[in-house]
Amino acid sequence: MTADVPGTDALTARSSRVVAARKLQRRRGRDKAERFLAEGPQAVREAIAAGAVEDLFYDLDADTRHSDLIDAAVAAGAHVHPCTDEGLAALAETVTPQGLVAVCRFLDQRLPEEANLVAVLHGITDPGNAGTVLRAADAAGADCVVFGTDSVDPYNGKCVRSSAGSLFHLPVLRAADTADVLGVFPHAQVLAAAAGGEDLYALDGAGDLAAPTVWLLGSEAHGLDEDTAALAHRKVGVPIWGKAESLNLAVAAGLCLYASAAAQHRAHLWLASFAKSGS
């Protein structure tokens, strides 16, 4: 396997490259370096495909198990570094490291000029939930995801892992103020996901979800504060027909995003069919 410097001994937890990369586990270090860590084969694979990997650290077992990814990183121009188990464990943030940790450049993301489906996270501080929402938005075909006021850093290690590679698939932006972000999409309706809001499926039945939509999503513990919820055109809730007290934030977000995506796809197919029949 080709390393950054052929014949180099495996790096340890005290090696300067490992010590420098470890600083990216904290937001201050990430923001200063404009770099972040992606851990595990799935995240590393997507990071390589996105051209974001600068350095790849791997343990000696991964040299065999994930040789394809190491070769791909070399082919993409990344520096690769074999590590001792101790050295790799110093960079990994999981209890059982998967043998690969990549240093990635911040993604150069911009808000799309036109967007039909957007997720805006407001005050969502749990990185696992945030990453899962990002994954759901990607699966639903959303145009972008914005991490708004008081939300976790999308480059947080747990958020990156929870996104299962989706961080590299669509524009993901950080915004200091949620209200400013909403103003970027004047053509779209803003729907606030909120308990006790209008029935999601009733809106779908009325055809109201087919329009370009920004979903405003609040924290699982507190939801959206009144001032932020007031920025939305409507408050929408997922009906609970069983005995559960509430839905997990990521589940509710996924249902809302998929309902909009399905409605928009149906509208697109209808228009395509109408245009074809009229030609």
CA triplet 151, 155, 160: central angle to 5 degrees? 105
Domains (range + CATH), the chain: 16-105 (3.30.1330.30), 117-275 (3.40.1280.10)
The residue assigned the tokens 């007031």 is 230
From the list 145, 167, 258, 241, the residue with the least C-alpha distance to 204 is 258
φ/ψ of residue 189, rounded to 5: -80, 145
pLDDT at position 170, please?
95
The pLDDT tens digits of the residues spanning 157-199 come to: 999 999 999 999 999 999 999 999 998 899 999 999 998 899 9
From the list 59, 85, 65, 87, the residue with the least C-alpha distance to 3 is 59
pLDDT at position 14, please?
96
pLDDT at position 164, please?
95
Strand 100-105 versus strand 53-59 pairing type: antiparallel
Low-confidence ranges of the chain (pLDDT < 50): 1-7
Rounded to 5, what percent of the chain is helix, strand, coil? 40, 20, 40
pLDDT at position 64, please?
87
CA triplet 50, 55, 58: central angle to 5 degrees? 105
Q: Is 100 in contact with 40 (CB distance < 8 Å)?
A: yes
pTM across the whole model: 0.90
User: How is residue 268 written in tokens?
Assistant: 């697109």
Q: Is the dihedral of CA 227, 231, 233, 234 positive or negative?
A: negative
pLDDT at position 277, please?
64
**How far is 80 from 56, CA to CA, in rounded Å?**
5
According to DSSP H, which parts of 34-126 are helical?
41-49, 62-65, 67-75, 85-91
Residue type, 22: R
